[in-house]
Amino acid sequence: MNEKRIELIKVTKDNMNQLQVVIVSTLPVRYPSSFYKSILKGSNVAYLAVLDGKTVGCVVWREEEGGSHLLSLGVYVLHRRRGVGTALINLFIKQCNAKDAYLYVSEDNIQAILFYQAFAFITRERVEEYYRGLVNTTAIKMVKNID
């Protein structure tokens, strides 16, 4: 198989629409405009994954008192299992400014839970009513110690 190079590009106002399209296309959660504005202000960090000139995924996180909070990681279905998600999660882990990283994932998203477990995230707790507007509103909080 021909290995292709994945470029990781910081999100700016010029490519913000690409981030919005990836998130709407890959995640069941809808973010308010304030989510995207916080990226431009610098309180959230966001990168796009680009393969052969096409945006295929994204990652968004922010640094909080309790650790580095992974807010979104999405990859288009046709580009999964090709190293895109791995490149994005590794970027997040490398750039974490805290001792712990954490995320919330829908408890019925087994594929995502297994993906995060492969990167040493462990289940910390089950959070009822975490999501709004979804059929399953329960999330799993997963945590990873960053050394």
Q: What is the CATH number of the domain that holds 48?
A: 3.40.630.30
Is residue 1 included in any domain, yes or no?
A: no
68 within domain boundaries: yes
Token pair in block for residue 143: 């945590």
pLDDT tens digit at each of 147 positions of the chain: 345 789 999 999 999 999 999 999 998 888 999 999 999 999 999 999 999 899 999 999 999 988 999 999 999 999 999 899 999 999 999 999 889 999 999 999 999 999 999 999 999 998 887 777 666 678 999 999 987
Q: Checking phi first, is residue 52 left (phi over 0); if not, alpha (psi -120 to 50) or beta?
A: left
- Domain count within the chain: 1
Q: Which domain holds residue 35?
A: 6-145
